A and B are shown apart, each in its own frame.
Chain A
Amino acid sequence: MLELAGATVRFGARAALDAIGLDVAEHEIVSVLGPSGSGKSTLLRVVAGLQALDAGRVCLDGRDLGGVPAHKRGVGLMFQDHQLFPQRDVGGNVAFGLRMHGAPRGEQASRVRELLELVGLPGAASRPVGELSGGEQQRVALARALAPRPRLLMLDEPLGQLDRSLRERLVVELRQLFGELGTTVLAVTHDQGEAFALADRVVVMRDGRIAQSGTPLEVWQRPADAFVARFLGFDNVVEATVSGEAADTPWGKLPVPQGSRQGAGTLLVRPAGVRLVDRADGLRCTVAARTFRGTHVAVQLQPDGAPRLEAACALRDAPAPGDVVGVAFDAAEIAVLGGPGGA
């Protein structure tokens, strides 16, 4: 439904978007994931018509949006910090888009009621927006964006400023809501947890280009390259030479899954694939630090003359800092990534 082809935006010499091609299908929820400065917000602004393209085009339902001003595009955008109109109450904010589209008063009122109920704020129409909590503001912003029934709803860091527990609850609610409404959604976020929980498809951006696109599971299991792997929070990424079912790494010879790409490449070892064994067996490491992570303990291991390794241990098995342990590797948690390593 939404198609971007060769979309390019330059700020001076720097390309904020570098020939982006992206399709979003009807009813699909796509999350664009990337560090700050990767161009993901610019992507939304381009689609919304708030930022002009230097090259390429944006089409919605097959219609080229070039030259169509923001207010005539019929897309919705929920801003990062909501941008509720401070001098209007909740109802006035939600009704704004309807008024702009010339909806009759009666219809406005019933639609506002309906939407506030939908986002879980029934009867809040006459409250001033200044009194709302962060979570409530987020809901009002969502109701406001949904009210004119946009063809495409875009969310810019929708849950960015909320605290963790609220965020985790809202992301589930959002996914459910969009599923029920059949809304097509394009969201950007820098939080991989949020992106994975919300989206049908995740697009990882780097320096104005798309680094990887796929289902959350695909991206999580097989990051396209070292950058994506590190961005997803994996630290055990090294250069390796693969031959057969083994790889030469600074940590010694590591087993790799069957059918891995051969030759020089980048290797990802998920923390769960680093098993602690008796110090006499496996790679000899000193425990440098450990961090409690709720369900497990992340243990930082320092091998002699090699980069640090992170291991995930059950709580009761976790060694103390200074302990010397042995490390063995599990082929199922190791992936050979495409592209050159480093990053």
Chain B
Amino acid sequence: MAVPVAFFAVFFAYPVAAIVARGLKTDGQWRSGRIADVLTQSDIRHVLWFTTWQALASTALTLLIALPGAYVFARFDFRGKQVLRAVVTVPFVLPTVVVGTAFLALVGRGGLLDELWGVRLDTTVWAILLAHVFFNYAVVVRTVGGLWSQLDPRQEEAARMLGASRFAAWRKVTLPALSPAVAAAALMVFLFTFTSFGVVQILGGPTFSTLEVEIYRQTSQIFDLATAAVLTLIQFAAVGAILAVHAGTVRRRETALRLVAPETTARRPRGAGQWALLGGVLASVAVLLVLPLGVLVQRSLDTPGGHGFAYYRALASDDGGAFLVAPVTAIGTSLEYALAATAIAVVIGGLAAAALTRRDAGRLVRGFDALLMLPLGVSAVTVGFGFLVALDEPPLDLRSSWILVPLAQALVGVPFVVRTMLPVLRAVDGRLREAAAVLGASPWRVWREVDLPMVRRALLIAAGFAFAVSLGEFGATVFIARPDNPTLPVAVARLLGRAGDLNYGQAMALSTILMVVCAVALLLLERVRTDRTGEF
């Protein structure tokens, strides 16, 4: 327990506190009056308003589109279901930068829709909303569908035997059992969209800006640290509130439900209605999830001289512009950083999860559970900038060290590791550990002999998620990655920020590579996935 606490104290709480202090403290005096100053600015209030309503709209839209999907995945058996399940999860682990780029290629200037029908959505909020749906579809399908598939259909049958109609049985029996999962999924989606950065940065243009984007702008372009600090605090408070509500719904979700093996609840669709539902879900997956990625790949190959690998080849050459090195070296850098970040995240997250499962874990430790989720929501930009500000003095002078980037990325990876490991560790029957102890196993032996064999798969999956998330981390990395050592997402963003077909094409090509790496990592994981591996 001490190690994860220390890790979070030094690499999360301290940098964030430092950056807030830098903004709000002048001559050693706290100036809380600034909070009010900032809040009265009309453009800031506009940002707050937009952040909130786009998150609400994204959440509603995602639920609307993904809930039928959750039902189809839970209750229907059809060919290719496993593959499809993997496909819908790919977007979730994709870097925000890739998603932004893909939607730009679909609905932006010169994008597919523009070419076909002259429709451009990149200047409207729809591009952002659709990208958010794209991202979070898997969150809903996994969280809600996972539970739905384990609900015993006989409960509904029992209600029908007592005289309830099919719909009444669903409404009175299934929906109440499901609603905590729906609430939890909705809150996660809200959290992710509320703090959205990469997508809005690329698709929002000058008109649309979320809190996180505004923090980035204030910090890196206007150098108004005070405003950035206030915005960070606001976001911190909002995220804390969301997480508190989320923790509440999780607790409610743990109320005893009769769960059965998912294989037993799914059956072939029957009748026109059910086939139409299946068809509709497949179509929405094709249009919303597969099409943007397809367009991305197509754009990366669509060079002025016909289809070819020119953009990919260009990646290998020094262009001397925004980069000091050839963009292709970003691939190697990214992989190295992501591997290091994964190792850190697995160790820290694993220790934290193990500590959280101990039966004698007190209230304090349980509170840490929710605290571990904070890095998911707290401004990554702040963390990144905080690293630069806070970790520049001995004994912690890491500013010039390569480890800085993996450390920041690991912060985002840890929550995924904890979330994946906790349910599995909690599912290990405590008496199995006791049986081992009575047979003479010391606590450490018990962990090795009983826990480890059971969580090995979960550990692998957790590592995979941490890897994908680290690979795609953008908000913090964009600050601390050194110009001569950009990661893939940073390189993509820089290429997009520059004019010219070649840069655009290279961004598409680099995004495609990033997508392929993430997708491959995820598809490998799907092979080892068990059904009891948490929410993601």
Residue of A nearest to B441 (CB): A100
Using A87-B453, A96-B436, A96-B449 as known contacts, say yes or no to A79 and B431 having CB atoms under 8 A apart.
yes
Q: Categorize the interface residue count of chain A.
A: 20 to 34
Assess the A85–B440 pair: CB atoms within 8 A. Answer: no
Using A50-B434, A85-B450 as known contacts, say yes or no to A97 and B429 having CB atoms under 8 A apart.
no
Could you say which of B436, B440, B445, B446 has the most chain A C-beta atoms within 10 Å of its C-beta?
B440
Residue of A nearest to B442 (CB): A71
Cβ of B438 under 8 Å from chain A: yes
Tell me the bound Cα distance from A148 to B441 in angstroms. 12
Could you say which residues of chain B place their CB within 8 Å of the CB of A96? 436, 439, 441, 449
CB contact between A71 and one of B429, B440, B450 (< 8 Å): that residue: B440
Complex interface residues of chain B between 423 and 463 (CB less than 8 A to chain A): 429, 431-432, 434-443, 445-446, 449-450, 453-454
Could you say which of B429, B441, B445, B454 has the most chain A C-beta atoms within 10 Å of its C-beta?
B441
Binary CB contact string for chain A from 47 to 89 against chain B (1 if under 8 A, 0 otherwise): 0111000000000000000000111111111010001010100
Binary CB contact string for chain B from 38 to 69 against chain A (1 if under 8 A, 0 otherwise): 00000000000000000000000000000000
Could you say which residues of chain B place their CB within 8 Å of the CB of A169? none
Cβ of A101 under 8 Å from chain B: yes
Residue of A nearest to B445 (CB): A100
Could you say which residues of chain B place their CB within 8 Å of the CB of A97? 439-440
Tell me the bound Cα distance from A290 to B65 in angstroms. 63
Residue of B nearest to A156 (CB): B431
Chain B contact surface mostly: helix
How far, in Å, is B530 (CB) from chain A's closest CB? 13
How far, in Å, is B531 (CB) from chain A's closest CB? 16
Assess the A75–B438 pair: CB atoms within 8 A. Answer: yes
How far, in Å, is B433 (CB) from chain A's closest CB? 9
Tell me the bound Cα distance from A144 to B438 in angstroms. 11
Residue of B nearest to A72 (CB): B440
CB contact between A79 and one of B435, B445, B453, B454 (< 8 Å): that residue: B435
Using A79-B435, A87-B454 as known contacts, say yes or no to A100 and B440 having CB atoms under 8 A apart.
yes
Tell me the bound Cα distance from A76 to B436 in angstroms. 10
Assess the B438–A76 pair: CB atoms within 8 A. Answer: yes
Using A85-B450, A87-B454 as known contacts, say yes or no to A71 and B431 having CB atoms under 8 A apart.
no
Using A96-B449, A100-B445 as known contacts, say yes or no to A83 and B440 having CB atoms under 8 A apart.
no
Could you say which residues of chain B place their CB within 8 Å of the CB of A76? 438-439
CB contact between B432 and one of A73, A83, A144 (< 8 Å): that residue: A83
Tell me the bound Cα distance from A97 to B431 in angstroms. 15
Closest 5 CB pairs of A and B: A100-B440, A97-B439, A70-B437, A83-B435, A77-B438
B residues at A contact (CB < 8 Å)? 429, 431-432, 434-443, 445-446, 449-450, 453-454
Given contacts A49-B437, A50-B437, A79-B435, 13 further A-B contacts (CB under 8 A): A48-B438, A70-B434, A70-B438, A71-B438, A71-B441, A71-B442, A76-B439, A79-B434, A83-B434, A85-B435, A85-B449, A100-B436, A148-B439
